[in-house]
């Protein structure tokens, strides 16, 4: 395999794969936080300022 083919394959599949996989994980995380919403209990944590 030529170095050009190698480089382009890794660029397209690698960078593209990273973007797509992280987008999928982000989608799963949204679903996760909807399935298990915080209920303002002590065990739930804030993603904002003031969180220790």
Partner 1 sequence: MLDAILSGLGGLGAGAQYLLAQGGPNVIMLAVAGVMFYLAIAKDVEPLLLLPIAFGCVLANLPLSELMGEGGVLRTLYNFGIGNELFPLLIFVGIGSMTDFTPLLANPRLLLFGAAGQLGIFFTLILALALGFSKEEAVSVAMIGACDGPTVIYVSNLFADLQKIPTAMVGALAVAAYSYMALVPILQPPIMRLLTTEKERSVKMPSPKGKVSRTALVVFPLLVTAVTGLIAPQGLPLMGMIMLGNFMKVSGVVTRLTKASENEIANISTLFLGLAIGGTMNGHEFLKWHTLLVFGLGLVAIIVDTAGGILLGKVWYWLSGGKVNPLLGAAGISAYPMAARLVQTEGQRWNKHNFLLMHAMAANTGGQVGSVMAAAIMLSVLKGLGIL
Smallest gap from Cβ 29 to partner 1, in A, equals 4
Smallest gap from Cβ 21 to partner 1, in A, equals 6
Site for partner 1 in 23-52 (CB under 8 A): 23-30, 32-33, 35-40, 43-49, 51
CB 28 within 8 A of CB 34: no
Site for partner 1 in 2-21 (CB under 8 A): 3-4, 6-11, 13-15, 17-19, 21
Measure the CA–CA gap between 16 and 20, rounded to whole angstroms.
Answer: 6
Q: Is the dihedral of CA 3, 9, 17, 20 positive or negative?
A: positive
């Amino acid at each position: 395999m030529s170095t050009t083919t190698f480089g382009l394959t890794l660029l397209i599949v690698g960078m593209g794969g990273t973007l797509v996989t992280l987008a999928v994980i982000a989608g799963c995380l949204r679903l996760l936080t909807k399935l298990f919403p915080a209920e303002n209990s002590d065990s739930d944590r804030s993603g904002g300022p003031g969180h220790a």
